[in-house]
Amino acid sequence: MIDEARRIICIMTEDNKVYQELSDLRLLIKKLRAPDGCPWDRKQKPADIGKYIMEEAYEVIESLEAGDLQAIPEELGDLLFQILFLAEMGEEAGTYSLNQIIAGVREKMIRRHPHIFGNVQAATVEEVKVNWQEIKKTERSAKRDQEGLLSGIPRSLPALQRAQKITAAAAVYGFDWQTTSEVLEKISEELTEFRKAINSKDQDNIEEELGDLLFTMVNLSRFVKVDSETALSRATNKFLQRFAYITDQLAQGGKTLEQATFAEMEALWEETKSKGI
């Protein structure tokens, strides 16, 4: 009983510290936005902050992928600052408030976790995801007509991420392949069409067919339970590491990239694979 009381006191004490820090940060933002505050901060518009939020979110992801335990809290702090900044702008305009934001997301999370806060059964991750999509489907139907069911996915998302979300949402309504093999067959079909487009030398057609091929590849990533954005990001980072190795090795041999032949660079590229780079 004593241990439980101590635990509750510790939680309350920590909550008070968090509340005070949050209050202090909000006061700092209010000061920056005040008539006698920072000219740059006062000049910002909601759309500007939206861009900064996107940038900060990517920096959080980079620190997580790198496992940089020092950078993670700093990047999360930068992201939190931009979110609170945007919330302050909403309060200034009288359009929304931080309290409204917090209450809204709390209610949404309770609504989307009926297996925790209700009587729905969901023992596995897959069952939770199915319930989640069904709840979102109901929410979307209540907000817009059938023509706009997929319009709630932000256009500002990276193309791969947006494509994967859109196809996942469409799948909830039954518009989807049944097996991975069917998606692979579609990729073969799109690849054939892409080759024909290249032979036609019609640039618009080439772009269209390449887009179809990429879109189908995103569907494949969904079927094999891989996030396409993350997969491409990892592949890009791997390329950068291997290309840096090529550059360093050439430099040690007294050569620049411009002086090296493709065969030399290709040999070094294969070397990175044997070294596990």
**146 pLDDT above the threshold of 60:** no
Structure confidence by residue, pLDDT tens digits, 219-264? 999 999 999 998 998 899 999 999 999 999 999 999 999 999 999 9
Q: Structurally, what CATH architecture does the domain formed by 2-111 represent? A: Orthogonal Bundle (1.10)
| CB 80 within 8 Å of CB 110 | no
pLDDT at 7: 64
Of residues 125 and 24, more confidently modeled: 24
The per-residue pLDDT of the chain, averaged, comes to: 90
Q: Distance from first CA to last CA of the chain, Å, rounded?
A: 54
Local confidence band at 147 (pLDDT 50, 70, 90 cut-offs): very low
Of residues 222 and 8, more confidently modeled: 222
**181 pLDDT above the threshold of 50:** yes
Structure confidence by residue, pLDDT tens digits, 41-99? 999 999 999 989 989 998 998 899 889 999 999 999 999 999 999 999 999 999 999 99
Could you tell me the residue ranges of all domains in the chain? 2-111, 144-226, 231-274
* DSSP letters spanning 124-170: SHHHHHHHHHHHHHHHHHHHS-GGGTTTTS-TTS-HHHHHHHHHHHH
- Percent of the chain, pLDDT > 90? 70
Any idea what DSSP says for residue 179?
A: S
Of residues 69 and 128, more confidently modeled: 69
Local confidence band at 3 (pLDDT 50, 70, 90 cut-offs): low
Local confidence band at 6 (pLDDT 50, 70, 90 cut-offs): low
Top CATH class, 144-226: mainly alpha
pLDDT at 75: 96
**4 pLDDT above the threshold of 70:** no
pLDDT at 125: 87
**139 pLDDT above the threshold of 80:** no
